[in-house]
Amino acid sequence: MTVTSPRGPREFKAKPPNSWGQKAERHSAILDLVNRGSVHTQHEIAAALARKGMRATQATISRDIQELGLVRSGGGYRTSAGLMSELVLSVEVVEPIAVIKTPPGTANLVARRIDEAALPGIAGTVAGDDTIIAVLRKPGAGRALRYLLANGG
């Protein structure tokens, strides 16, 4: 395509479209790899995608990991939902509050998962290093919270 600008005519080459379908297909492939527990690094993800005919840069894979909410653990990349049962050490409900204990440095990850679940009975969370306070809107909300944390969703 030729465009006339103040500097004169300029030739522009159209980039190949990175359509939503390609992104969704790549996300699906990454989740499949993660659910099989077969990837530990972004390089392994890129290589596995390439074997499936999908080329992706490290920057794209890094964005995909963030968008998918993946977390890197000792066992490789995992979904945050898949880690919940491992990260929650205890849940004590004293309505209208629940106190959730996690290993050091993981409370924000668990609190984010609670917030993203948007349980109707949970008003919100506050996370420290290894402790989360969840404010319960109504009696019985602790049961749904315990279920979420035990089953990841």
Q: Hey, is 150 helix, strand or coil? A: helix
Burial 88-124 (b: 16+ CB within 10 A, else e): beebebeeeebebebeeebbebbbebbeebebebbee
Predicted TM-score of the model (pTM): 0.63
28-55 pLDDT, tens digit per residue, is: 999 999 988 878 999 999 999 999 999 8
- pLDDT of 17: 46
- pLDDT of 44: 94
Least-confidence region, from 2-11, 74-83, 137-146? 2-11
- Give the CA distances from residue 137 to residues 10, 121, 141, in Å, rounded to whole numbers and listed in that order: 61, 5, 7
Give yes or no for residue 18 having a pLDDT over 60: no
* CA contacts within 13 A on the Cβ side of 90: 6
Is there a shared CATH topology between the 18-68 domain and the 83-151 domain? no
- What residue segments make up the domains of the chain, in order of their start? 18-68, 83-151
Q: Residue 88: in which H helix or E strand, if any?
A: none
101-136 pLDDT, tens digit per residue, is: 999 998 998 998 899 889 999 999 999 999 999 999
48-103 pLDDT, tens digit per residue, is: 999 999 989 999 999 999 998 888 877 788 887 777 888 899 999 998 999 999 99
Burial 140-151 (b: 16+ CB within 10 A, else e): ebbeebeebbee
CATH 3.40.50.720 fits 83-151, yes or no: no
CATH 1.10.10 fits 18-68, yes or no: yes
